[in-house]
Amino acid sequence: MSVSRVRVQAPSNIALIKYMGKKDASLNIPENASLSMTLKDLCTTVELEIDSEDGLGKDSVRWLNELPTQLPSLNPSLSFDVPMIGQAGIQRMCRYSEALPQIFYGSQGQARWARSKKTFRTANSFPPSSGIASSASSFAAMTLAVACAYSEDPVAFAEEFNESPQLRRALAVVSRQGSGSSCRSFEGPWVYWEEQSAAFMDSVQMPELSHFVVLVEAQPKKVSSSQAHHLVQTSPLWEKRLQNVHQRTLRMEEALRQGDLPAVSHLAWGEAWEMHELFHTCLEPFSYWTPGTIEGLHWLSSFLGEALPPIVTLDAGPNLHVIVERNQQDLWRERLKNQFVGVPILEDQPGSGASILSIE
Ligand code: DP6
């Protein structure tokens, strides 16, 4: 019997210039370029076990939400067990994974897939509905796990993956088709994604940073980001948005290159508000904001005029992402704890993208 096991990890990422609205929904081609910071410990681990002699064929995909997280608890005061990927998410990923061997390795890959029994074990290091884009980390991890496990020589694949930005970028192109934002999780810490391809920005001069997520609301969101991409195009602000975001992206790139924290903070604030205004003004308006979000935004706005302001942003959800200079991390941890009493707060830092943990 021949069984092999590949374990990989991919982080989530947080966009400062948002991917919102698609030119082509079937391929997840974005309307505008986006720019994100790759995270480190807020991630998905996927273990793919292949029994190549089993011969059970393509129905033999098992998905087990049982992988104990590899990481020490990100925040010991948070109580969540092994966080789950929901049933709908599992189905979406199973459908996606089935197409991968053919995409990567043609008919031979497809034949290897069809002959083998596959078991996926997954875990996220963050709670569900936490305002962290779990589709970004899950699809990136899934893409990497299948590409590595079904290659002719997984060890050689891993070596190439560690050394070659080209391989990471090729995987990102495929992963994007599963979930757009996942293509920004293969490199880091700063990634620029336009049209088909995402790549690491090598000229950024930002200081060391820390990232907090204030979980003002733990309920699942009612409008998925995939629905939001569609709805925003019905907003009367949509045309203006397309003009604004182009200029803002150029200014953001320049501010990151210069390490100009006040400019990055100012641009990120405007960008997050503009995306949420689209939600609030589309034909069937909706909002992710809760009273806690609004109160939090109001409080955070009072720090934006400081010499070292926080970078504040939100994804398609109610929770607040606050990015600060690393040497202000302790100060901000205390500030956030005092302001958001009893509210869970996750902590992370910039990272360098997906990795292969082990091959057996
Ligand atoms: C608001 O990548 O989740 O987080 O491509 O439909 O899977 P699909 O959408 P998804 O959209 C993320 C949108 C966002 C902004 C961003 O991450 O840029």
pLDDT tens digits along 163-214: 999 999 999 999 999 999 999 999 999 999 999 999 999 899 999 999 999 9
What pLDDT, in 10s, does the model give residues 288-337? 999 999 999 999 999 999 999 999 999 999 999 999 999 999 999 999 99
How far is residue 251's CA from residue 247's CA, in Å, rounded to a whole number? 6
Q: Note the pLDDT of residue 50.
A: 87
- Give the Cα separation of 275 and 32 in Å (integer): 12
Q: Return the bridge partners of 9, or none.
A: 45, 355
Sign of CA dihedral 197, 88, 113, 4: positive
Token pair for 249: 């992206």
**pLDDT tens-digit map of 260-297:** 999 999 999 999 999 999 999 999 999 999 999 999 99
> Residue 136 CA: which ligand 1 atom is closest?
2
**Ligand 1 atom with least separation from CA of 226:** 6
Evaluate whether 31 touches 87 at the Cβ level (below 8 Å).
Answer: no
If you measure from the C-alpha of residue 278 to the centroid of ligand 1, how many angstroms do you get, rounded to a whole number? Answer: 14
3-state helix vs strand vs coil in the chain, percent to 5: 40, 25, 35
CA-based nearest residue to 132, from 227, 47, 212: 212
Residue 317 CA to ligand 1 center (angstroms) comes to 11
- As a whole number of angstroms, the distance between CA 16 and CA 249 comes to 9
Return d(Cα 260, Cα 308) in angstroms, integer: 10
pLDDT given at position 84: 55
Rounded-to-integer distance, Cα 346 and Cα 5, Å? 31
**Stretch 35-64: mean pLDDT:** 75
- Protein residues whose CB sits closer than 6 Å to any atom of ligand 1: 15, 18-20, 28, 34, 133, 135, 179-181, 225-226, 229, 315-316
Model pLDDT, residue 70: 43
pLDDT of residue 198: 93
Pocket test for ligand 1, best of 195, 225, 286, 287 (most atoms within 8 A of CB): 225
Ligand 1 centroid to residue 6 C-alpha, Å: 27
Q: How many angstroms does the Cα of residue 200 sit away from the middle of ligand 1? A: 18
User: Collapsing DSSP states into helix, strand and coil, what is residue 200?
Assistant: strand
Q: How far is the CA of 152 from the centre of ligand 1 (A)?
A: 32
Report CA-CA distances (Å) from 267 to 173, 282, 310: 27, 23, 12
Predicted pLDDT of residue 219: 76
Are the C-beta atoms of residues 14 and 211 closer than 8 Å to each other? yes
